[in-house]
């Protein structure tokens, strides 16, 4: 059975241009060659082999910071970026995380809020995958409410001194540069911190049952002395990191559907091969109902992602629309993975199939970049005008 063709019952492929399909296919082929055969093993071991080599290959393909312009970035459209995220996450959410954090969080922050000197120093290397970046906003005691962050930056002559801790930071231990958000006397500011700076360390967070093929770390900042030029000059207040989050959240709108598609393909293929009671599982009405319901949600999610992508390319996308897409698509993607898991029966819990890996990964995706509850409150505020956060 051609599971990919079987899923596109609405002809969504026909809505894509030749260029968009070419970007999608080139990312898909890198994933199939370079990551898919190994990622189950990486997940099991909690280690990505040769992450730097992988980053360079992603960079050579133009995927890192691909929707940014100049400084070695590929300058592709938001829709192309979304399609890339979908293919990356169809392989593993950890791979999409690597690309999201590099391109949409670390690079975007420097590209949007940085000085010319910061841009020329970091962006070409980050785009090429020769350097890795991370983005430190969350803290042990400040997750959904980043305004309560405790990390402080104070002046010492012309220098800045940073003290504090960041938690759950993707790529922290492997990064060459960290974009760190800290409070100053003027409110929240962003800092470009080379990870070799004395006082900076990034121990790995172990024992994760989700996103195991992704490095997650704590950032410890103890008297980290930085020159005046380390501050992001155009970043003023919490809206700066939240602006970067818009970019990564948009990528997740697409990416989460990749994990769902991969799980549904596995379920469809399994259902057509596995026989019980003398016929394939796919011949039972109850199984068909599951397959069809999953495909309906996948299709609706893709149409929503494409709609948001077109609006982002037209410059009309609003932040609440990103929340709508992130909330819906991650929630439905997780549901698709869970239902796919049931079709595989006991095999569904094995890493021999991708489904449980995707399902566990999406538990993180549901939480990071704004939890379901945060996006619900953002949408609730957009609908009612009432702020129900505090």
> Is 373 a residue that touches ligand FAD (CB under 6 A)?
yes
> Is 169 a residue that touches ligand FAD (CB under 6 A)?
yes
Q: Residue 243 binds which entry of ligand FAD, ligand TGC, none, with Cβ cut-offs from 5 to 8 Å by kind?
A: ligand TGC
Q: Which of 53, 70, 203, 237 binds ligand TGC (CB under 6 A)?
A: 237
Taking the complex as a whole, how short is the minimal distance between the CB of residue 216 and ligand FAD, in angstroms?
A: 5
**Counting beta carbons within 10 angstroms of the beta carbon of residue 314, is it exposed (0 to 12), middle (13 to 18) or buried (19 or more)?**
exposed
Would residue 171 be called left, alpha or beta, if left means φ above 0 and alpha means ψ between -120 and 50 degrees?
Answer: left
* Rg (the chain; Cα; Å): 21
Query: What tokens appear for 177 in the block?
Result: 């540069």
The 10 Å CB-count burial string (b at 16+, else e) for 340-356 is bbebbeeebeeeebbbb
Dist CA 186 CA 78 (whole Å): 33
The residue (of 66 and 215) whose beta carbon lies closer to ligand FAD is 215
Binding residues for ligand TGC, total number by CB under 6 A: 24
Q: Which of 138, 151, 246, 256 binds ligand FAD (CB under 6 A)?
A: 138
Active site (annotated) includes residue 369? yes
Q: Which of 36, 116, 369, 386 is catalytic?
A: 369
Query: What tokens appear for 101 in the block?
Result: 């954090």
Return the sign of the alpha-carbon dihedral for residues 114, 119, 124, 130.
negative
Report angle CA 130, 131, 133 to the nearest 5 degrees.
145
Piece of 74-82, 154-162, 241-249, 300-308 that binds ligand TGC (CB under 6 A) = 241-249
Q: Which of 29, 69, 120, 144 binds ligand FAD (CB under 6 A)?
A: 144
Cβ-based neighbour number of residue 140 at 10 Å: 12
The residue (of 100 and 265) whose beta carbon lies closer to ligand FAD is 100
The residue number whose beta carbon is nearest to ligand FAD equals 143
| 3-state secondary structure (DSSP) of residue 156 | strand
Piece of 113-121, 267-275, 334-342, 362-370 that binds ligand TGC (CB under 6 A) = 362-370
Piece of 49-57, 68-76, 137-145, 222-230 that binds ligand FAD (CB under 6 A) = 137-145
Dist CA 310 CA 350 (whole Å): 38
**Counting beta carbons within 10 angstroms of the beta carbon of residue 226, is it exposed (0 to 12), middle (13 to 18) or buried (19 or more)?**
buried
Contacts of ligand TGC in 67-126 (CB under 6 A): 97, 100-101
- Residues paired with residue 219 on neighbouring β-strands, in sequence order: 166
Query: Using the 8-state DSSP alphabet, how is residue 104 labeled?
Result: I
Q: Which of 42, 122, 168, 250 binds ligand FAD (CB under 6 A)?
A: 168
Q: Could you give the dihedral angle defined by the CA atoms of residues 338, 213, 65 and 183, in that order, rounded to the nearest 10 degrees?
A: 90
The residue (of 157 and 315) whose beta carbon lies closer to ligand TGC is 315
Contact residues toward ligand FAD (CB under 6 A) are 101, 135-138, 143-144, 168-170, 211, 216, 364, 367-368, 371, 373-374, 389
Residues in contact with ligand TGC by the rule CB under 6 A: 97, 100-101, 137-138, 144, 146-147, 170, 237-239, 242-243, 245-246, 248, 319, 368-370, 374, 378, 389
Active site residues: 369
């Amino acid at each position: 059975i051609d599971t990919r063709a079987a899923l596109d019952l609405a002809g969504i492929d026909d809505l894509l241009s030749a260029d968009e399909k070419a970007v999608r296919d080139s990312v898909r082929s890198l994933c199939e060659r370079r990551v898919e055969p190994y990622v189950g093993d990486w997940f099991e071991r909690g280690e990505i082999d040769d992450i730097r080599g992988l980053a360079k290959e992603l960079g050579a393909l133009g995927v890192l910071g691909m929707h940014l312009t100049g400084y070695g970035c590929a300058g592709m459209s938001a829709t192309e970026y979304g399609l890339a995220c979908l293919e990356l996450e169809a392989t593993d959410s950890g791979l999409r995380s690597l690309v999201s954090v590099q391109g949409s969080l670390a690079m975007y922050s420097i590209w949007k809020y940085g000085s010319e000197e910061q841009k020329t120093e970091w962006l070409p290397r980050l785009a090429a995958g020769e350097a890795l970046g991370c983005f430190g906003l969350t803290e042990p005691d400040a997750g959904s409410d980043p305004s309560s962050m405790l990390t402080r930056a104070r002046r010492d002559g012309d220098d800045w001194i940073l003290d504090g801790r960041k938690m759950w930071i993707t790529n922290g231990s492997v990064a060459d540069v960290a974009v760190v958000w800290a409070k100053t006397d003027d409110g929240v500011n962003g800092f470009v911190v080379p990870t070799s700076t004395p006082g900076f360390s990034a121990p790995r967070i172990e024992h994760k049952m989700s996103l195991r093929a992704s490095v997650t770390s704590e950032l410890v900042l103890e008297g980290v002395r930085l020159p005046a030029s380390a501050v992001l000059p155009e970043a003023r207040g919490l809206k700066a990191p939240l602006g970067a989050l818009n970019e990564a959240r948009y990528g997740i709108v697409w990416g989460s559907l990749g994990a769902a598609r991969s799980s549904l393909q596995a379920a469809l293929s399994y259902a057509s091969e596995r026989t019980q009671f003398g016929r394939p599982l796919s011949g039972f009405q109850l199984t068909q109902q599951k397959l069809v319901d999953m495909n309906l949600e996948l299709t609706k999610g893709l149409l929503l992602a494409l709609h948001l992508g077109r609006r982002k390319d037209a410059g009309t996308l609003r932040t609440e629309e990103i929340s709508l897409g992130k909330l819906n698509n991650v929630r439905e993607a997780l549901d698709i993975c869970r239902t796919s898991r049931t079709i595989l029966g006991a095999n569904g819990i094995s890493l021999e199939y991708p489904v449980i890996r995707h399902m566990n990964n999406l538990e993180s995706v549901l939480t990071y970049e704004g939890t379901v509850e945060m996006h619900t409150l953002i949408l609730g505020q957009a609908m009612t005008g009432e702020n129900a956060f505090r």
